[in-house]
Chain A
Amino acid sequence: MIEVYDLNAGYGKLHILYDVKLKVNDNEIVTVLGPNGSGKSTLLKTIMGLTTIYGGKIIFDGKDVTKLRPDEKAKLGLAYIPQIGNVFTNLTVKENLIMAGLTLDKSEFNDRLEYALSVFPFLKACLDRKVKTLSGGERQMLSMAMALIMKSKFIMFDEPTGNLAPKIATEVLNKIIELREQSKLTILLVEQAARKALEVSDRAYLLVSGRVIYEGSSKELLEHPELGKLYLGVKKL
Chain B
Amino acid sequence: MIPLALIEDALVYANLLLMLTVGFTLTYLIAKIPNFAHGEFAGIGVYITFTVAQVWKSNPYLAVPLAFIISAFSGALIYNGVLRTLKRFGGTMISLTISTLAMQIMISALLNIYADYLYPIAGAYSRLFLFRHLDFEFIGLPGVLIVSTIFLLTLITLLHLMLTRTRFGISLRAVVEDSSLASILGVNVELACTISWMLTAGIAGVAGSLLPLWFQGHPYTGSMLLTSVFAASILGGLSSIYGAMIGAYIIGLTEIFGTYLLAQTFGAQLTAYRSLIPLTILCIVLLIFPRGITGLIEDLQARRASKAMVKIRGEGS
Same assembly: yes
Which residues from chain A sit less than 8 Å from chain B, CB to CB?
12, 48, 50, 69-71, 74-75, 79-80, 82, 85-91, 95, 98-100, 102-103, 133, 150
Contact yes or no, B171 A99, CB < 8 A = yes
When C-beta atoms are compared, the residue in chain B nearest to A131 turns out to be B177
Give 6 closest A-B pairs by Cβ, nearest first.
Answer: A74-B186, A70-B183, A103-B186, A102-B186, A71-B186, A71-B188
The proximity string for B residues 154-195 relative to A, scoring 1 for CB distances below 8 Å and 0 otherwise, is 000000000000010011011001101111111111000000
Contact yes or no, A74 B184, CB < 8 A = yes
Contact yes or no, A91 B174, CB < 8 A = yes
Contact yes or no, B185 A90, CB < 8 A = no
Which A residues touch B185, using CB under 8 A?
Answer: 71, 74, 99-100, 102-103, 150
- Pick from B167, B177, B183, B305: contact of A71, CB below 8 A: B183
Instruction: Give complex CA distance A87, B305 in Å.
Output: 22
CB distance from B284 to the nearest CB of A (A): 28
Contact yes or no, B171 A102, CB < 8 A = yes
CB distance from A79 to the nearest CB of B (A): 8
Contact yes or no, A95 B186, CB < 8 A = no
When C-beta atoms are compared, the residue in chain B nearest to A146 turns out to be B185
Contact yes or no, A75 B177, CB < 8 A = no
User: Assuming A88-B178, A90-B173, A91-B177, is B167 touching A82 (CB within 8 A)?
Assistant: no
- Pick from A71, A89, A133: contact of B187, CB below 8 A: A71
Contact yes or no, A89 B177, CB < 8 A = yes
Contact yes or no, B170 A91, CB < 8 A = yes
- Pick from B173, B180, B186: contact of A50, CB below 8 A: B180
CB distance from A155 to the nearest CB of B (A): 11
Instruction: Give complex CA distance A150, B189 in Å.
Output: 18
Which B residues touch A50, using CB under 8 A?
Answer: 180, 183-184
Contact yes or no, A85 B181, CB < 8 A = yes
Contact yes or no, B167 A102, CB < 8 A = yes
Instruction: Give complex CA distance A50, B181 in Å.
Output: 10
- Pick from A69, A85, A98, A100: contact of B188, CB below 8 A: A69
A-B contact pairs, 28 of them (CB 8 A): A12-B90, A50-B184, A70-B180, A70-B184, A71-B183, A71-B186, A71-B187, A71-B188, A71-B189, A75-B186, A79-B184, A80-B184, A82-B184, A85-B178, A86-B181, A88-B178, A89-B177, A90-B173, A91-B170, A91-B177, A98-B167, A99-B170, A99-B171, A99-B187, A102-B167, A102-B186, A102-B187, A133-B305
Instruction: Give complex CA distance A71, B180 in Å.
Output: 10
User: Assuming A88-B174, A89-B177, is B182 touching A99 (CB within 8 A)?
Assistant: yes
User: Assuming A95-B170, A99-B170, is B181 touching A88 (CB within 8 A)?
Assistant: yes
When C-beta atoms are compared, the residue in chain A nearest to B188 turns out to be A71
Contact yes or no, A48 B174, CB < 8 A = no
